[in-house]
Amino acid sequence: MSTLYAGTSGWTYATWKPDFYPAKLASAKFLSYYATRLNTVEVNYTFRAFPTEKLLTKWVAEVPAGFKFAVKANQRITHVQRLRDATQITTDFLNALRPLQDGDKLGPVLFQLPPFVKCDTALLKDFLNGLPRRVPATLEFRHESWFSDEVYDLLRGANAALCQAESEKLITPEVETANFAYLRLRKEDYSAASVAKLKKRIQQLLEKGDVFVYFKHEDTPEGAINAERLLESFR
């Protein structure tokens, strides 16, 4: 049976008080409380630094069974190397995530390319060939040149998901390339009607596999509240 995972990109926001976090909740308890209401979070910290075993072990202990951490790949892979000759550093990064994997808390790893990187199918093929299959991967392309059948076929061959991202600047085509789906919802506002439309779309995706959905976080709790409402609508 497929599972819907819905959350936000981060949890360390005191500005979510009191509408999401209780007014007197200590910041050290944010994650454990967050995990009582949502079942996944997208970690952006890993974009800047490799996580330590101590940190990940602490996170694992703070969340319940069934909770998943999606992890943004380190910038050295996506923004410095830009996927080129990145097999070793990618392997090192994935090895650093072992505490999450061993604790059955690791969701997909997001490889987000810079907006200025244009389509290079040979580069993508080489990167995917060197990607360990033990961890589900999703790729977010932020230049429209990547949206082609050739790219989709390469992703399908590696069971890597096309990250279906939407923002005010760019909307990714609704194309499935893996046995799970990954959605990043970055628009400024989501009305009740747009969330209802999203629910219908997710219902279709769940027929094919697990679905991971991440709302924009920022300084207000609307993303977390929308994620919770979405989860509740499927219960």
Using CB atoms within 10 A of its CB, is residue 36 exposed (0-12), middle (13-18) or buried (19+)? exposed
- The structure tokens 């976080």 sit at 217
- The total number of structural domains that make up the chain: 1
Rg (CA), the chain: 17
Q: Which domain holds residue 110?
A: 4-233
For residue 188, the model assigns a pLDDT of: 65
Residues whose CB falls within 8 Å of the CB of residue 82, separated by 6 or more in sequence, listed in order: 113, 114, 117, 123
Q: Would you call the peptide bond into 221 cis, given omega within 30 degrees of 0 as the criterion? A: no
Q: In this structure, what token pair is assigned to residue 4? A: 């819907």
Question: What residues contact 112, with CB distance under 8 A and at least 6 apart?
Answer: 47, 72, 73, 78, 139, 140, 142, 163
Q: Which residues sit opposite 180 in a β-bridge?
A: 210
Quick one: DSSP state of residue 73?
P
Q: What is the pLDDT of residues 23-77, one digit of tens each?
A: 999 999 999 999 999 999 999 999 999 999 999 999 999 999 999 999 999 999 9
User: For 144-177, what is each residue's pLDDT tens digit?
Assistant: 999 999 999 999 999 999 999 987 778 899 999 9
Query: Which of the residue ranges 90-94, 124-128, 185-189, 219-223 would you say has the lowest mean pLDDT?
Result: 185-189
In the numeric block, the tokens 């072992």 are attached to 98
User: ∠ CA(108), CA(51), CA(120), 5° rounding?
Assistant: 50
Q: What is the pTM of this model?
A: 0.96
CATH code of the domain covering residue 182: 3.20.20.410
Task: Tell me the one-letter amino acid at 189.
Answer: D
